[in-house]
Structure 1
Amino acid sequence: MNTSTDTPAATSQTLTTFEELRLTDVAMVDEKEDMSFLRRTLQQKRKVVLGAVTTSIPPTPEPTPAPTPAPTPAPTEKLLPYTDTKFDWTNFASWEADTGADCSWAMGGFKGSSIEVSTFGRPFAQSPVIRTKKGWSGEKVLHIEWTSNPGSDTNVWLLPVSLVNQFGDPRWPNCGEYDIFEMFNGDAAIGNTGTKNYFGSSLTDFGQSTTHIASTMCFSAETVHKPMVAPNGAQFSIAYGRKTSMTVIFGSDGNGKFIQQAQDAKLKPGPNSTYDISFDGATVADKIYNNAQSYWGTTPTGACAAGFNPDSGYPFWGEFRLILQEQYQGSFVVNNFQVLTKTP
């Protein structure tokens, strides 16, 4: 009994164990199949996703560089009416004596940035001149600055370059002379006392600007307003030791060619060595015209008619040079001299 009973029990146990193993194997197989299926499914989905991404997002194009804007030109500065010729006035080689002679005796007056003009050791009644070798014609501006020292009879004027011999040439005054500034205390010392100071002070307190044209018998009547003392002349106050300047404009307008002089006018600098002229605070003389009615401030009749040409501007539109001379017992120091021409 016990044997038969034990045998079935063992068989049953064995069967149970086999069944469990079979079921376990089946489960494992199913699990493997499920995993395999899952992998295939994921791979397919991944391909779909990648394909979708590839299809829906095109490659990013290379950025197109923005066009480079053309550079904005710098604003052009306005050129002023006159251009500096940059005449080398402090260079001793730019000067000569009367008749074109060497003026080595004046070399000591050249101080680098200034020129001290004296009688250079000679008696004042025989004082020599120094003059520029070069001259200037047509429309222009001459600007000179100086200081007169005590005892000076300062003389600054213009003569044509054609007048090689400054004194004694019979072409004078028909060839023209323009006195920028002429004092008279030295003249009085040698007996020439005809000029008076219309400001009412002494001969050492003023200088006169005058034209000389036509003939030695050509004179202009006096006028009543200062600084003009004649239609072609003006007087300007000065003081020893005080710097002053004269600006002489050779220009033209609707009334003809003219010369206009101003004391203590200012040259206003601009680009490219150009300048304008400011009369603020200056003593400004009348314009002296050359036209059908006026021969450089003089009525063109009688002794004042020789050489008159209302169109050419003779003689002052010709080539004139600068003359410097001390005519008494002092000196004057030129601090600046500029020649400007019309800006093209």
Structure 2
Amino acid sequence: MSFLKKQLLSDEERAVYRIRRLTLRFAPQLESQFKKYYEVILLPRIRWAFGVAIMVMLAYAVLDHFMIPDLIRREVLLLRLAIILALALGLAVSFIRAARPYMQTIATLVAALNGLCVIGILFVGSINNTPLSYEGIILTVFYFYCTGALRMYMAAACGWFVCICYPLAEMVAGMPPKVLLMRTIFLATANVIGTAGAYFMEYAARQSYALSHQLHEMASRDFLTNLLNRRAFSDKVEILWRQSCRSQQMLAIAMIDVDFFKRYNDSYGHVAGDEVLKSVASVIRQHTRRPMDLAARYGGEEFIGVWHDLAPEAAARIIEEIHAGIQALAIPHAQSEAAGIVSLSVGMVTLMPHQGQKFENVLQLADAALYQAKDNGRNGSVIRAM
């Protein structure tokens, strides 16, 4: 795997997949993708977490009804009811599509309210000289870290929030300092363990995502040139085509061919030919850096480029720059009838795509323009506006 990474991923690309250990973040361009992916993965877990918590709170409410003294039963049951209603509301909201991007925030707020209500129950017991089971706050903290389907920083925020609020509440209620100190230490220790566990769980999730993403990227790349392969290009260009049809934005499609490449291979050898293809791909890549631009090795010595939302004049300038970039390489080609160095022929079509029009038909027009460029003597371009 490390060999493949070195072959297919540049240093800049590998940096995108590095996890910042302190902040648990990818580079910005991958972080946004990971968040969307993780939102989808966590949504079922959040629903299960709400459902399980509701069942547990209902069970405790039944126990409270029979076991808690009359003096505080009403207040405790009201607090239990508040927790159950908050959890039920969170569960209901999770089925609203528009709310899904905000479910981590919603789950965090519900979890924090849950913690405050549990603190409230313990506080009611303390001020009425009816001590209740302290372990309930520990269980609540572990719910944040283990069952609540919260990301590490969200879970830690809830856990440490409770760790601060609980001692303050018991201090107001008059708990003896030694007892309060021991409980605070146990609660803080639970948070340390929970934070460490949540950190490593999210780190593992990020590692798994990064590996999966890299494998997908490598499977979509041409091994020699590191451009998109034909299959990946076909998938991506279909999406781009549909989007451009909807938004009515210009597209420029160029078929690019290395002039007399077979003669170059026969004269200089296949290893030298591979180096030419790499060099040509590098020049093309430099001019397809915008997020929605595409560049692929289409087959043999043939490449394809697609530029999104680009005026015909700007598209023509890019083709001129690609020609200039290849010429600047000054790779000798004694067998070329077009030039004494490696050169390109380009056929480009610029258009405003519309519904009912197919990309394959436009591609045929770009291919016809490429053949026209070859008939014109090669080392040049034919650009047609539709």
TM-score range, shorter chain: under 0.3
Say which structure is richer in helix: 2
When normalised by structure 2's length, the TM-score is 0.20
The structure with the largest strand share of the pair is 1
Q: What TM-score results when the alignment is normalised by the length of structure 1?
A: 0.22
Bigger radius of gyration among the two: 1
